[in-house]
Amino acid sequence: METTTTSPKPLPIVKGHWLFKNALEIKAGMIEFVQKYSKSYGDIFFVNTLKEEMVIINHPDYAKHIFQDNNKNYIKSFAYQVLRLFLGNGLLTSEGDFWLRQRRLAQPAFHRERLQKLTESMIESTDKFVDKMNENAKNGAEFNMAHELNGLTLDIVSKALFSSDISESMEKVRTSMDIANDFAFKKIFEIVPKPMWVPTTLHQEFKKANSNLEGIINKVVESRRKNPGQYHDLLAMLMETKDEDTGETMNDRQLRDEAMTIFLAGHETTAVALSWFYYVMTTRRDIEEKIRKEVSEVCGDSPVAVQHLPQLKYTRMVIDELLRLFPPAWIIGRKALTDDVIGGYRITKDSNVLVLPFQIHRLPEFWENPNEFIPERFTPEKVKEMHKFAYFPFGGGPRQCIGNNFALMEMQVIIASTLRNFSFERTTTEDPEMEQLVTLRMKNGIKMKAVANA
């Protein structure tokens, strides 16, 4: 990649409306906007939304530059400031030395061997979901799959973090989490930003939901401090872990922020990906059948268990392809700390740069028939040959998702356990629409019914 510092070129600027610049077109759909203008402006260009000026990055080499090679120059962008109101200074939103220390402390809790212990509770929650779907199948009931999956992944992450300590508060957690989530994307896309002291309904509802969640987490932490050593969940691991140099453990504030971060980051993305999965299966019964065959060969009549997961290789390829076409984190933002040069173009200090995995995952230069769902792209041999930043649903470089293996195991468990029992049919004919929010949600979810396998 060309990174010469001598006379960098100015970025191409997308011409927009004389008054609204590019704001209206971007509001109508960022993905469509980037697809349209990358044809004439290439793989890096400048846009103006009135609220922010932004550089759009549309090439794997440039993504590698930002997330990996020169990552120290790129901090998290304005959207993360909003998340900070809710997640505090947790792993997703913190920066610099503080982030690095927290990441080192949290990393062991996400090691594969540790995660294997958590899969038992993943399987338990999924079994309850399968029982519910069985009832639905018997009654021919219609349900919103996106909503059901959100409940399931929230249940899984709650148990992974807190064992059964918050089971009595689950309904309150779910409602508060929904409110906080809704608040986050409304604030990020607010055209005229209002400070938090303005008593709008949105702000007040958020503050109440946030304080409910804090209350629940604080109570668990307090009771664990009084009776240490009884649990083997993520919270216990975060409480036990010590800084190698200082021997310090996390204080209550840090535990709250990390728990809240894992709570949010650990369920919304996975639920969104799975909603798209069950939709894709309604259009690709051939793939569904292959998954079913693999599950039957690997698991036989026994329940899906942790030792089966590495053998569910085709299922894993389907998940990889799903995250290529429907990456829940479809857009990732950064801000440049100092002037930089990317691909020979000048990036000035404080520029916001936006990288769209959604778009890069579909570049025809890197993907043959990019819009087709072809799991065989992800055989281990082909993965070795791939440009590391042509496919990065979990981000890349030091800030890569800490929960990637957790999510992949969870999706395998849920897909294998459901498809061996049911097929899911859509009860409406309209195709689901993408909603380009913080995650790539399905607008209004997807109405389905479960049909038990013969």
Contacting residues toward ligand HEM, per CB under 6 A: 76, 91-92, 103, 157, 261-262, 265-266, 269-270, 273, 328-329, 332, 393-395, 399, 401-403, 406-407
What is the DSSP code string of 184-208?
Answer: HHHHHT-SS---TTS--HHHHHHHH
Q: Rounded to the nearest whole angstrom, what is the least distance from the CB of residue 39 to ligand HEM in the complex?
A: 26
Q: In Å, how far are 14, 120, 156, 224 from 232, measured between CA atoms?
A: 53, 12, 15, 12
Q: Measured from the CB atom, is 393 or 445 closer to ligand HEM?
A: 393
Closest-approach residue to ligand HEM (CB):
403
**Residues 426, 281: Cα–Cα separation, whole Å:** 10
Q: Rounded to the nearest whole angstrom, what is the least distance from the CB of residue 160 to ligand HEM in the complex?
A: 7
Q: Which of 325, 362, 352, 328 lies closest to 438 in space, CA to CA?
A: 328
Q: Measured from the CB atom, is 93 or 136 closer to ligand HEM?
A: 93
Q: Measured from the CB atom, is 361 or 399 closer to ligand HEM?
A: 399
Q: Measured from the CB atom, is 134 or 404 closer to ligand HEM?
A: 404
Coil, strand or helix at 311: helix
Q: Rounded to the nearest whole angstrom, what is the least distance from the CB of residue 180 to ligand HEM in the complex?
A: 16
Q: Rounded to the nearest whole angstrom, what is the least distance from the CB of residue 240 to ligand HEM in the complex?
A: 18
Q: Measured from the CB atom, is 12 or 151 closer to ligand HEM?
A: 151
Let me know the angle formed at the C-alpha of 137 by 135 and 142, rounded to the nearest 5 degrees.
100
Q: Rounded to the nearest whole angstrom, what is the least distance from the CB of residue 256 to ligand HEM in the complex?
A: 14
Q: Nearest 5°: phi and psi at 54?
A: -140, 150
Q: Rounded to the nearest whole angstrom, what is the least distance from the CB of residue 8 to ligand HEM in the complex?
A: 25
Q: Which of 39, 44, 42, 37 lies closest to 14 in space, CA to CA?
A: 37
First to last CA, the chain: 55
Q: Measured from the CB atom, is 273 or 317 closer to ligand HEM?
A: 273
Q: Rounded to the nearest whole angstrom, what is the least distance from the CB of residue 95 to ligand HEM in the complex?
A: 9
Dihedral of the alpha carbons of 239, 245, 246, 247, in degrees to the nearest 10: 40
Q: In Å, how far are 182, 208, 217, 226 from 203, measured between CA atoms?
A: 11, 9, 21, 34
Q: Measured from the CB atom, is 37 or 231 closer to ligand HEM?
A: 231
Q: In Å, how far are 51, 433, 438 from 36, measured between CA atoms?
A: 21, 19, 21
What is the DSSP code string of 33-48?
Answer: HHHHHHHHHTTEEEEE
